[in-house]
Amino acid sequence: MGVIISNQIRKGVKLLIDGDAYEVVDADHVKPGKGSAFTRARVRSLRTGQVLDKTYKAGDKVETAETQETKMQFMYKDQDGFHFMDQTTYEQVTIPEDVIGDQVIYLLENADVSVLLHDNEPIGLELPNFVILTIVETDPGFKGDTVSGGKPAKCDTGAVVSVPFHLNVGDKIMVDTRTNAYLKKM
């Protein structure tokens, strides 16, 4: 664990607050006309996503969180959680479902993801920006249905995406994992 001074707090820096890793989302260094300078930081928990506002006086020492990002491949899910394998060391890690959260709807077997580790414990997951999913349930499309707008389509991972009317069950689509937006038919 490293230590920085409060005026070194910037967006993207990872801090250790109450034993948990947080990432600085926004930081303002304030120098009021009267009184001493301070830093106002908005931080987000890497484990839970909770956002906090923290204020540090000028010269305060702040602990940084040592985190590492490892490329891993998603293998399978069972009652213990989601199993990932490091492709260089072949070491396997099990991540509980509550750590993955809503991102579970984009996890495909054999998908490469980045796993964020803090104290060798997985605390987060970064998915690829785009995934290719197969539509398993949607209303039938009709010839000439090209009007803008869309219909909901359930995909093989459980994700529900708004797609154009002409797409049908069995079609493969590209989806943006950051916005849950349909991009194109594959």
The number of residues making up the chain comes to: 186
Residue 109 vs residues 57, 71, 83, 85, 106: alpha-carbon distances, Å = 48, 15, 10, 11, 10
| Ramachandran area for residue 42 (φ above 0: left; ψ -120 to 50: alpha; else beta) | beta
> Highest-confidence range of 16-30, 90-104, 131-145, by mean pLDDT?
16-30
**CA-to-CA distance for 145 and 147, rounded, in angstroms?**
6
The pTM for the full model equals 0.69
**108-119 confidence digits (pLDDT tens):** 888 899 888 888
**42-56 confidence digits (pLDDT tens):** 998 887 778 999 999
Q: What is the set of domains in the chain, with CATH numbers?
A: 3-63 (2.30.30.30), 67-126 (2.40.50.140), 130-185 (2.40.50.140)
Question: In the predicted model, what is the mean pLDDT of residues 51-76?
Answer: 89
pLDDT at residue 143 is higher than 70 = no
Which DSSP string do the residues of 119-174 spell out, in sequence order? TTEEEEEE--SEEEEEEEEEPPP-TT---SS-EEEEETTS-EEEE-TT--TT-EEE
**Res 145: pLDDT:** 55
**Res 148: pLDDT:** 60
**CA-to-CA distance for 25 and 42, rounded, in angstroms?**
6
pLDDT at residue 144 is higher than 60 = no
**Res 54: pLDDT:** 92
**CA-to-CA distance for 114 and 117, rounded, in angstroms?**
10
Question: In the predicted model, what is the mean pLDDT of residues 20-47?
Answer: 89
**77-99 confidence digits (pLDDT tens):** 888 889 999 888 988 888 888 88
pLDDT at residue 23 is higher than 60 = yes
Q: Which residue has the tokens 């539509």?
A: 135
